[in-house]
Chains A and B, each alone.
Chain A
């Protein structure tokens, strides 16, 4: 539930930040340009969304399920790094560190989730979706311009967390 709230709030703040930024064009404007403009919406969205995301993964237990524990741990780290990225100024070393490690932690969370889903054939459908999103993120980062892969990666991540949260609700 908290994961669902986290991404919903973050998405809402992202949309407000984009609408607030003059001359935004999807696929042609960098997300970092929006952040550079000291957008209050983005700062609030990142801070609150990151906190909620971190709390959503607290308490993930799973005896004999190292993938699930790993997924929870990396989601917590992702949330923390997103909060740091929202709080610290663009251009600070800690900001760049936070963005990079938020991305890395998120990819590791997806890989851990993948391991848990395919282990004993638990959630094959969700595992397939995770693979699709991973391939999409990888392809975008390697082959596309930054204007495309920044927003594409954000949206892919939001979709994954949304579906993961809905799955947790019905699990």
Chain B
């Protein structure tokens, strides 16, 4: 199977996986045994799902239209910023994940990504 993904799409895939792993780590650091921290752990799982979904969207056989991937990137970035500012997760982890999410917006908006999603991805 030919991998005709542009380099930036591969970067997006990597960023998605990295973001998901960091979200799992954040959920571990967030849990402190109390029942109140369960909410923050749940939010970390939401972030993890978004990051892995985005990574999957940029995979070779990924699905999702350009609009969906762009919208999801923006939502992920918004959630990261909100959680970091609110203190739901460790500030450093939150900041790194925010940067990753913002980079994923850049990846999603890129012209090569759009071209790959609309046409090249159909080529097997």
Residues of A participating in the B interface, judged by any CB pair closer than 8 Å = 118, 121, 124-125, 127-129, 131-132, 134-136, 139-140, 143-144
User: What are 6 pairs between A and B in contact, CB < 8 Å?
Assistant: A118-B70, A118-B71, A125-B109, A135-B79, A140-B82, A143-B82
Q: Which residue of A lies closest to B77 (CB)?
A: A132
Tell me the minimal C-beta distance from A93 to chain B in angstroms: 33
Let me know if B78 is at the binding interface, CB within 8 A.
Answer: yes
Tell me the minimal C-beta distance from B75 to chain A in angstroms: 6
Candidates B66, B77, B79, B81; contact of A124 at CB < 8 Å = B66
Let me know if B9 is at the binding interface, CB within 8 A.
Answer: no
Residues of A near B114 (CB, < 8 A) are 121, 124
Contacts A131-B74, A134-B78 given; does A124 touch B67 at CB 8 Å: yes
Q: Which residue of B lies closest to A143 (CB)?
A: B86
Q: Which residue of B lies closest to A144 (CB)?
A: B86
Q: What is the CA–CA distance of A136 and B74 in the complex, to the nearest angstrom?
A: 11
Residues of B near A125 (CB, < 8 A) are 109
Q: Which residue of A lies closest to B88 (CB)?
A: A143
Residues of B participating in the A interface, judged by any CB pair closer than 8 Å = 66-67, 70-71, 73-75, 77-79, 81-82, 85-86, 105, 108-109, 114
Residues of A near B78 (CB, < 8 A) are 131-132, 134-136, 139
Q: In the bound complex, do residue A136 and residue B109 qualify as a contact, i.e. CB atoms below 8 Å apart?
A: no
Counted as pairs of residues, one from A and one from B, with CB atoms less than 8 Å apart, the total is 54
Q: Which residue of A lies closest to B65 (CB)?
A: A121
Name the residue among A118, A128, A129, A135 with the largest chain B CB count within 10 angstroms. A128
Contacts A125-B109, A128-B109, A144-B86 given; does A136 touch B71 at CB 8 Å: no
Q: What is the CA–CA distance of A139 and B105 in the complex, to the nearest angstrom?
A: 19
Residues of A near B81 (CB, < 8 A) are 132, 135-136, 139
Tell me the minimal C-beta distance from A109 to chain B in angstroms: 18
Tell me the minimal C-beta distance from B103 to chain A in angstroms: 13
Tell me the minimal C-beta distance from A13 to chain B in angstroms: 27
Contacts A118-B67, A121-B114, A124-B66 given; does A132 touch B86 at CB 8 Å: no
Residues of A near B74 (CB, < 8 A) are 127-129, 131-132, 135
